[in-house]
Amino acid sequence: MSSKGDFPDDEDPLESLRYQTLDCLDGIHSAGSFATSDHNVEHIHPGLVVKGIGPIRFPLSHEDANALIRASRRAPFGKGRETLVDETVRKTWEIDGKELSFGNAGWDSWLDRVLENVSKGLGIPGSAGRVRVELYKLLVYEEGAFFKAHKDTEKTKNMFGTLVVCLPSEHVGGSVRLIHGTEEKVLETDRWSSYGVSYLAWYSDVSHEVVSPVQSGYRFVLTYNLINTTLERSPSAAVLDVEQSKICRILAEWDSMQDKPQGMCYVLQHKYTGASLQLSGLKCDDYYRCSQLDRACRSNGRFCVFLSRLGLTVTRINEEAYEEEDKEELFLKDTVTLEGIQLRDSMRIGKDCLVQRNLYEAREHDEQWEGNT
């Protein structure tokens, strides 16, 4: 995201300010990752009951697996605004979470402990009470089942990620590969599948796939939506005060400039929908950076932080035969406060407003893409 080789021109105060801002914000990191997993976390029996079938035994028996499949439907997937069923893309059985209940009163407490671990693994600050789970589906992956690379859609308000709990059911294969930017993780579930429980969790904008089809047995999972429940604004203790001091010095320098810019745009790492564009909906480093920046701005008293979606339009103008010219325009849309209150629909900005440079160089003009700032 940053360009460490993009050194500032010492004779240009604005360029120096831009570089200092880039270097400072790029240096703020959360303590978490885009995905996390663990296994056999004080495992308890859930007492799972499926409507129309009854209690499910663990490890999952062949008879119960067949009963679950008979009560299931083929799992669909989203493509644009459509919901499709295509076994060349996704081959999985599903039962809606509304058809499930849990006889063990300790299951919710166990989930709370898992959620605490997941929050720490994903780098979510102040996680106690800030995140809750919502049961979504029961999935059965039989032999040959898979799901090609995709990203999860926001299925409910303030959803920011997915939790998958893999229950005891012996199987081989079914590993999940997750990709975010240049980073990649492969999380396995089959190693502990006979009698153990494992969980996987990731952010919604992480590309993931069941990379190896199930070779034998049944991969039996519960999926949950991870939901943010608060509008917490205080920064995490994990972000050191040294970054806060750096930001304060940069703001003071900015404020003292004679020909100072009215604003600068720093592009975040993750992509967000309009509904999730607020401080509480930001992820990992994005949350920490905006929290620290907001804290410094409020301390200074002369600056404010807003969130917006960045876009570039390229218009090809053919003024005369064989002569074409591209007209590029940067714009911000859905500009909101950190609480998500909309301020403006759309506005044009100049390239000199961007903290990062060359954001669109590697993108073709006919490819639609938007970033978040």
Reading across the β-sheet that carries 93-96, which strands appear in turn? Answer: 35-39, 198-203, 159-166, 219-228, 131-141, 93-96, 73-74
Domain positions in the chain are 13-29+236-372, 35-228
pLDDT tens track for 159-175:
889 999 999 999 999 99
Q: How far apart are the C-alpha atoms of 72 and 142, rounded to whole Å?
A: 12
> What is the pLDDT, as a whole number, of residue 301?
92
Other CB atoms within a 10 A radius of the CB of residue 266 amount to 21
| Topology of the domain comprising 35-228 | Jelly Rolls (2.60.120)
Q: How far apart are the C-alpha atoms of 31 and 306, rounded to whole Å?
A: 24
Coil/strand/helix, residue 312:
strand
Confirm whether pTM is higher than 0.75.
no
pLDDT tens track for 66-121:
999 999 999 876 666 667 767 777 889 999 999 999 999 999 999 999 998 898 88
Q: How far apart are the C-alpha atoms of 278 and 307, rounded to whole Å?
A: 7
Residues in the chain: 373
Mind listing the pLDDT tens digit of every residue in the chain (373 residues)? 333 345 455 568 889 999 999 999 988 877 678 889 998 767 789 999 999 999 999 999 999 999 999 999 998 766 666 677 677 778 899 999 999 999 999 999 999 999 988 988 887 765 556 789 999 999 999 999 878 877 777 778 888 899 999 999 999 999 999 988 778 899 889 998 999 999 999 988 888 888 889 999 999 999 999 998 864 443 333 334 567 788 999 999 999 998 888 899 999 988 887 777 888 888 878 888 898 899 899 989 999 999 999 988 877 666 555 566 667 788 898 899 999 999 988 889 888 889 988 777 655 555 554 555 5
DSSP output for 319-363: EETTEEEEEEEEEEEEEE-TT--EEEEEEEE-GGGBSS--TTTTS
Reading across the β-sheet that carries 100-102, which strands appear in turn? Answer: 54-55, 48-50, 100-102
pLDDT tens track for 116-150:
889 888 877 655 567 899 999 999 999 998 788 77
